[in-house]
Amino acid sequence: MDPRDRVAIVTGASSGIGLAVARMLVDSGAKVAMVARGPERLAQACAALGPAAAPFALDVADLGALAALPGRVIDQLGGLDIVVNNAGVHYRGDMLRHGADKLAMMFTVNLVAPVVLTRVAADHLPQGGVVVNVASLAGKLGVPGSAVYSGTKAGLRFWAMAAADDLQRRGIRIANVNPGPVDTGFFDDDFDNVSTLTFSQPMVTAEQVAARVMDAIRSDETGLDLDIPYGSGKLATLSYLLPRLGRMLRPMLERKGAAAKARYAERRGMRPGSRA
């Protein structure tokens, strides 16, 4: 789909990947409903992108408000053609350090909300409409220290791949984009509990991930499952298919990741137990 003169919803749009996607959509001639929890930050982000960006402040965990979103967007912007499910939350480290409510919140935000928004949007999207999920390479194999997050992203990926058939019957496409570690500050608030395995893979920028989202929007294919970096995706797939090989590679990857994590902390002026 050519984004020009189209209307898109982007969740988690006030920073990071979501903001980068919104900017690329606006630059491509689309109108964008930017969705995020914090109204002040969201308003600033929209103002920076100009009149083609409109703020819709809501928490995607509020499923009732989320279900009403497509109708609000259509009333204000005149249509709906593209949905980008980007909002996410990650409580890091051993899952037993977190209460059950936080673990449930990860499923609500990362998995249930995209399903709900896609289901409601499907009644409004035209033939040729598209849904893109920002999933994760953590959804391709279990990442230590990210057990529940991995589970939510695996669920998101497999739901989308199965739902492709259902949506295609209405002429709607769906795709996943699976980034590895992204240099957005997403993990700075709990840096000590980011696994060294995460840092073993090349870090990409929000703009690089957003470019893959745009590739998925413009493609004519459905059921796409796009990894970034490409090599990290292949390594994740190999480790999933050959778990014994994955266990053999893990010590080497963790040593590599520990060194990369230390360099990252030094670059950002962080100390153990500190926040950026």
> Measuring CA to CA, how many Å separate 109 from each of 17, 106, 116, 130, 151?
16, 5, 10, 20, 13
| 115: number of Cβ within 10 Å | 17
Listed in order, strand segments (DSSP E) in 19-146 are 31-36, 53-57, 82-85, 130-134
Which of 91, 149, 230, 240 is catalytic? The answer is 149
What angle in degrees, to the nearest 10, is found between the helix axes of 16-27 and 206-218?
50
- What residues does 179 pair with on adjacent strands? 228
Known active-site residue 149? yes
Which amino acid is it at 224? L
Which amino acid is it at 29? G
Q: Which positions are annotated as active-site residues?
A: 149
